[in-house]
Structure 1
Amino acid sequence: ILNEQNFYLANVTVGTPAQSLAVLIDTGSSDLWVMGNQNPYCEPSSTSSVSASATNAYSSAEATIDCSLYGTFDKSKSSTYKSNGTTFYIEYGDGSTAQGTWGTDEFTIAGITIHNQSLAVANKTDASISILGIGYVGLESTEQSTTTEDYTYPNLPVKLVEQGIINKNAYSLYLNTPDSSSGIILFGGVDHDKYTGSLETVQVVNQYLYEGVLQPITLAVTLSAITVNSTVVSNLPAVALLDSGTTAIYAPVTVFMAINQALGGTYNSEYGVYTSECVKEDDTTQATFDFTGAKINVSLYDLQVPISELTTGTSSSRKGTCVIEIFASSDSSYILGDAFLRSAYVVYDLDDYQISLAQSNPNSTSENIEVIKSSVPSATSASDYSATWTTTSGS
């Protein structure tokens, strides 16, 4: 998977003959949708198939996405595409939306073709890239719909199991360092050379139990404590979503302030973030995230991005002032996005409602892959495995 700085993508093909496009890898959602070639938000020059009427339905100010960058899908050119006629709609945490129609088609990733994969063709979206959600089926937009009868369908990880490609609905995520050009997602296996120390297993928590949801539907775990070097900045158990589809770390306001200040940050009221002098890679300042005994260290160096990336959207060298990529969330929960995940090797075991964590082994060039057949190989329970967040302990 390729590091696009704000997200990670996989190059895939859809349909017959195959049409190439890129998808964002998202553990925080569960639907696969591809951008349709009729998307009115596409710049007129970025896809030759956008009709004049579709383009003119939106002002030129809204048609601002260069859809040629990550590709679009023309369902009319695929002989294997089948629409089921049902409506697709999803809204993400950043406010972006996608809507269109559900169907099935051939879907190929890393040379493996999944037959009759359910996917939506988004004929209207203000997102810049198609999305491959690989979370629980209970989080699928079809299950969360308020306008149609709820149902789930086999999303990509489930189809990989059904077609005998992997043994279990489990995958490992290795994003590598912020400066590396790529990372790895390994469906159905663990690469022991991509982490240091040992894999420690924690429970996936059911943050919606109080709403009557019987099993977890998000890939969230218990965050027991956060320290910066030796200073405790939070020890109240809370829900933390391990979300590859989010760029930064989001924490409740009080913790957002405490952790940034402990990291040496100064509040910038203009942008609502904390900044500090850009540090070098050998700087020893780090935040430690404790998940019921499984601990992951994240260096200040890995948490910083040059302030120009925030103000102008362009990358630059790490000189002068940097933004600390820990932002304020809107509630009491945490989202641990790529800024955290790059420091961890994460094995998501959806079947057993468990996640195994270890410190990432940066820039590993060797591999030692083991298939996940039942439990995660070489993983042991975290020391406080049973001390999980509940609706009473953390809220």
Structure 2
Amino acid sequence: MAYFLDILVGTPGQMQSVMIDTGSSDLIVTASNASACITIWGCAGGTFDPVKSSTFGTVTPDGLSITYGDYSRKVGDYVNDVTQIGDVPMNDAQLGLAYYTKDFTGVNFGIMGLGYSSNLAGNEAVEPDEQSYPPTFIETLVHTGVIASRLFSLHLNELGKRGSIIFGGIDVDKFRGPLTTLNCLADNDTVKDFYLNLEEVTVQSSKGGSQSLMRPTGQKPYPVLLDTGSLNWNVPTDVYEKITEAAGAFEANDTKTEREWLEKPCDDLDRGGIDAPHIQLTLSGNGPNTVTLDLEMADLFIPRLNQDGSAKTNDVGQALCELIVRDYGSPEGLDQEGGIAIGNVVTRTGYFVFDLDNGQISIAQADFAANSSNVVQVEAGPDGLKNAFDGLKAEHQTNHVEGQFGR
């Protein structure tokens, strides 16, 4: 399960469906002659043929080489070309063109990385001088005057429905309850990733009882990366064991691939019922604010599918759903180099405003019942979001932020 955005690249424009990824920073499309694209589903998100674009240029041959957290890989050139989102074209936007791409699912697609520029794949060997970093896609939007600040908001929505991403603004109709700002955690006194602290995980059982699954008493909270490019929610072993027990899922495996997972019949999941079990995650930053996201236990399951898209079933014909929680191992020594990823199986239950200028993430509970839209532009500056939405529970970032306000 992933979330995609359609863009046009080149002149004339070639359609690309790119996966929205807050865990990386590169905009990457797949070359039309990539070997992975020889099968019908190999490059389902579209490919780009530079020969067919009159505005194409190569920036750094062989400059792109990136391996993602799921071990998928992309290798190729850094290039520039006209890139269009909606009805807004941007000239000479830099992006990666992958001639080699490998994904463990066998389906390859482009990536819309939305992180900080120091995390561009081509910057791994570059000295940390912010002035030398090429602009990311969202920074190109700012530099060309399309948006006022490096800010975007995400409403991924529930399964089977379209979500929305807004660059430079928020949709105040897509969330309910308070919108609360959390300061991202700094790495060596500089914010350059979307890391927060996971303070507590609680399960509300169908019988009305409450059990704390994780509350690191006497310890610092666990750092977590909000990663929309990942499906899974990775948790420490002790939390994993408690969640799987509460979820009532059964072990399953594939002897050919040696893959193991937990599943249960989809019909046995309690969705929307009065007694449906819930999970609450409490997040914090480096300030006093906290946010608690609420999701049904059923939200942690997704349908298992065959290659043709049909439902996988058990011996009695019941469709099966898989628990998308993964055992991360021991939490000892966790830091921002090895933090726990919270993937889109969790983040789709929230409304998120990623404010790169101020090194902050503002979070509210998503409103899945919303059938209207009210988009408000956010201006640059430390009070931009507060001025756009006066119901914001704000926080002040005290750490340096990469690229903050042009510095």
TM-score range, shorter chain: 0.7 to 0.9
Verify: 1:303 aligned to 2:300, yes or no. Answer: yes
What does residue range 37-48 of structure 1 map to in structure 2 within 5 Å?
A: 37-43=32-38, 46=40
In the TM superposition, what is the alpha-carbon distance from 1:343 to its structure 2 partner? 0.6
Counterparts of 1:123 and 1:368, CA distance in 2: 41
Q: 2:384 aligns with which of 363, 375, 385?
A: 375
CA distance in 1, matches of 2:86, 2:176: 26
Shift of 1:267: 4.3
Partner in structure 1 of residue 371 of structure 2: 365
TM-score by length of 2: 0.80
Q: Deviations over 1:204-257 (max 9, x none)?
A: 113xx3xxx441222111111000012100012111111110112111222211
Match of 1:187 in 2: 167
Query: How do residues 154-303 of structure 1 correspond to structure 2 at under 5 angstroms?
Result: 154-180=135-161, 182-206=162-186, 209=187, 213-229=188-204, 230-236=210-216, 237-268=221-252, 271-277=259-265, 278-283=268-273, 284-292=276-284, 293-303=290-300
Q: Percent identity?
A: 27
Matching residue of 1:342: 348
- Residue 392 of structure 1 corresponds to none
Instruction: Write the letter of the residue equivalent to 1:362.
Output: F
The answer (yes or no) to whether the contact 1:142–1:152 under 8 Å persists in 2 is no
Deviation at 1:262, TM superposition (A): 2.7
What's the CA shift for 1:269?
6.3
What TM-score comes out, normalization by structure 1 length?
0.82
- The 1:280/1:78 distance shift into structure 2, 3 A limit, reads same
1:324 aligns with 2:319: no
Q: Output the CA distance in 2 between the equivalents of 1:153 and 1:235.
A: 41
- Write out per-residue CA displacement over residues 35-82 of structure 1, whole angstroms, 9 at most, x where no aligned residue: 0111012216x5xxxxxxxxxxxxxxxxxx532x32111112211111
Which residue identity does 2:81 align to in structure 1? D
Moved more, 275-284 or 339-348: 275-284
1:25: how far off? Answer: 1.0
Seen in structure 2, the aligned counterparts of structure 1 residues 173 and 379 have a Cα distance that, compared at 3 Å, is: same
Report what 2:42 is aligned to.
Answer: 66
Give the drift of 1:329.
2.3
Unpaired stretches in structure 1, ≥5 consecutive residues:
1-5, 47-64, 389-395
Amino acid in structure 1 at the alignment position of 2:294 = N
Whole-Å separation in 1 of the counterparts to 2:166 and 2:352: 10
* Inter-CA distance 330–146: structure 2 relative to 1 (3 Å threshold): farther
Q: Is the 8 A contact 1:172 1:190 kept in 2?
A: yes
Report SS of the residue matched to 2:384: coil
Would you say 1:19 and 2:14 are equivalent positions? Answer: yes
> How far apart, in 1, do the equivalents of 2:373 and 2:154 lie?
14
Distance 1:243 1:39, change over 3 A: same
In 2, Cα distance between the equivalents of 1:330 and 1:119?
Answer: 35
Q: Retained in 1: the 8 A contact 2:233–2:345? A: yes
What CA distance in whole angstroms lies between the structure 2 residues aligned with 1:381 and 1:198? 11
Q: Which deviates more from structure 2 when the two are superposed, residues 248-257 or residues 155-164?
A: 248-257
Q: Secondary structure at the match of 2:46?
A: coil
